[in-house]
Structure 1
Amino acid sequence: MTTQKYKDMVEERTKQTLQEWSELSEVNEKDIYRFLHNLKGTAGTVGLQEVQQFAEATLPYFMESSLKSWTALEWGDYLYPLIPLFDQDSSASLGSVKQLDKKGHDVSLPHNDILLIDDDVELVAYLKESLEKQNYYVSIALSAERGLKIFYETKPDLILLDILLPDISGIEVLNQIIGKAKKERIPIIIISGEYSKATQLHAYRLGVMDFLSKPVDIDLFLALIKNRFELKREWQESIIVDELTGAFNRKHFNQVMKQLICDFKRTERVFSLALIDLDYFKKINDTYGHLVGDEVLQSLSELVQSSIRMEDTFCRFGGEEFAVFLPNTDASSALTVIHRIQERFAATDFIAKDEVFHVTFSSGISEVTAAENIADKIVEEADQALYASKDAGRNQTTLYTDHLSSTKKHSVLNVIIVDDDALIRKIVTHQMDNWEPEDIAEVNISSFANGLDFLQSDWYSVDEKYIILLDGVMPDLDGVEVLERIRKTYPEVNILVIMLTGRNNQADIVHALQMGADDYVVKPVHMPELLSRMERLAHRFLF
């Protein structure tokens, strides 16, 4: 559907609504409020900027909670000036919805992840908006508990931390994360209104990189963030060993891959690549804690490195995924090596909380051939074999064969849109029809016009994963009430919620985050940004 078609639909619906209201003796104020609220988000999304600005400016004159009724003469003075604005917008381009590639990617999307732990809602919203304009992706935590959860689950690239938090102090948060942050080379910057010399000295001695006092000068702040990311990039380029596990890192992985491919082209000496992924690793972290999870990673690393040859290379590929290069080794010989490691690791005893538990891993192996000697292709084949192992029940190793080439990873993501604005539902659904997020085999999309219909539907299956796009303002049942019921009824591990809000009231945003929203997007919706957020969040609990 073309951009102009969406604009025509908004114009037609607006004129139809005003025509129907003109034939009524009175219109409830809450209906006028909801009309303007929806129009603000929808018009901005499809590129009707003049209409969006008018709706935004007019909205404060009406209240959602009001019981007042308005005659056509009264509301007409406010709403009829809308009609000529559609002509002014007719030549405008689509402002917020950009043309996407088939994966929904856009070159302007964020590349660095920032975790912001602070309960100052106005400041948090301001910093989030300012940072994301600079192409950073920002996760928000309004409490220490939430901040620690996001830190361990996502491993951000940089942390912004307040000293005064509602549950425990930022200093206590520092004590818990500083060791891991140093190993992972994650810079920590304190932003606090508590900036006595003693506090600063203590923070610096613990290992924070910078200490900023509130209020924040946004220009200096953004320059500092850019500087710190440039410094981090230089660190990463100079280091080839993962400090937590002692394995080589992704940079060295790329170097070894390049060397082995060059050698193969010159000598035709084969090599194999094995990808290893710990089974149910998130469950280990959730059950026994992240320190125990780190011990499991270290134990696997020690076992693999003691089980391979000098000429083999063991790398941490990312998170709980590792890679082993085996030069001069065909796939069947590599299978023997990985099987031996697999059996020994599965028999390893881990002890936590006065109980013994065991951990397994799944693996996939690909062998370089004359036909397929491109780095990305070799990794893709090993990856497909790995996921075949997972689909077959885990704790096993699969060799890549041609029959796997047409098999995509069996990871299914359900996206549910709950919004009373039919046009928003249609736009978002249409944009997602061509969305192919990386490493996700299937995306199922459904939508509901209100929260009650959604909650009463048979939408949930215990074995599946969900991202819910939830409008904050809906009739009958408010979006935050829907969120509250979701969090009380269903396990958080299977459901991520992104609030879609057109409200400027920061209290609504903080309430949603406190109730368990994973993120929020302010209308008008910018589709590349929304798809980027969804893909990042999906990988947090799918893999």
Structure 2
Amino acid sequence: MIPPKFKQLVEQRIRGTFDDWASKGSIEETEIYRFLHNLKGTAGTIGMKAIEREADHLLGLFSDVSRRLFDYGECFDLLKGLLLELPQEGDQEQLEDSELTTSTAGSSQIGNRILVIDDDVELAAYLKAVLEERNYPVNIALSAERGLKMFYDLKPDMILLDIFLPDTNGLEVLKQIVEKSHQEHSPVIVISSEDTKTHRINAYRFGAMDFFAKPIDQELLLALIDNRFKIKQQWEQSIIVDELTGAYNRKYFNRTLRQLIMDFQRTKRVFTIAIMDLDHFKRVNDTYGHLKGDEVLRSFAEVVMELKREEDSLCRYGGEEFALLLPNTSKEQAVHVLDRIRERLSARLFEADGGPFQVTFTSGVTDIHLDNMHAEQLVEEADQALYVGKESGRNQTVIFAPQLISHNYEQMLNIVVVDDDPLIRELVVSELSQWQPNRSLEVAVKSYDNGVEFLQSDWFKEKQKYIILLDGAMPTMDGVEVLNELRVQYQERDIVIAMLTARGNQTDIIHALQHGADDYIIKPFQMTELVARVERLVHKLFK
């Protein structure tokens, strides 16, 4: 049952348009065409069949490209059939001002947000009411310009896009948003009163998922939207879940964190982020092998997913690090959750050839407030609390506080040179030991003459940053083999790697980059060139 207010809105719109035209005296043909075009779609959608038929008949009398001017009398004679279909003004109930709003404030719900881009105010308001009754948060844009801004600001999960907009054609909007919408797996449904083969072909070729004709059948549209969101969920499930652990991946973490921040900005609902790191996990891999390490990661994820709430999100942040997002939760409440996880994990024994062993984890916690409403800052705060927990004994949870901040690891840059040529090592170490970076950093330079010695040394300190200059051709273990080990064992965000190679072969360079090198420097090189490359790597490491 369609609420009467929507029919009253259409009736008011028709009368208001005639009043407006009467005051202007003359009306451009394209304006008349657009009025009839929108009216046909809206009237048909909300069940005003007589108005729909009359608007459809009148559309044939006008062109959407002609600039011809009609005087009001001529226009009234042609369109008066619309007024004859309306009830007498005295029979109408007055609508409250609040019922006329097309506010874009939106619902506080986080997921499945729909952006409607349509200049037909009545139809947009109707769609908003219908969809929000179905628990889909809806935002409305009445022009292409506003629609594009809201698309990039709100990152909606679905877009309903009219072809005819006042400032540009909807297909032009589609061209601008299609790549981003595909990246975000946000389906675009084009809607139009002109259900022509040409419009359908263009919509599909430009990247729309569906074309839906006006007048809109409410039941059919809702079924289509429900279906597309189910497909979207299946798509996303296949690309946002870590295959090894079943936790969400970094892509999901980044997107959900942004959504939670936006929700806080609107509603001031607090959420907490916890970053959890398995203690001495490298030792597990080295002692028991990577298969046993994988078992530990899966088991840890199982424990967390058993104990977290349904609305909480567990994400594999990288390697042995996991992040837990807890909506509507203070940092003190999060600590209780983490303590239960720690207790459950400590009760698990992992069987190995050397006998059973246990695993612990350390976590850093922070919650959102008005001074840290940025994803990078929230992650950094949780990360700093985690670092303090690691440095002060592990197997604990630390809540972030400003006085915990340690600048030592943030400001320490380690440069490691791995090259079997002693002259190259001496020159590079000498040059970089005297180098002053373009930011406040303490620089330490070390060197190794082969990859095996380097990997077996105690070179890595957690939470410090590293630039590794790695020779491509070395005896026993070449540079690409060392590179592979580094990328498996350590976080990419902490280490950048540049290959030093005498090979100018493009295939060798591509091979190194594909295996995780961040840059390559061809020997022989000038020291000024080396320093410039290192400066760029510093920017990447600390961005």
- Provide TM-score, normalisation by structure 1: 0.41
Bigger relative CO (Cα 8 Å, ≥ 6 apart): 1
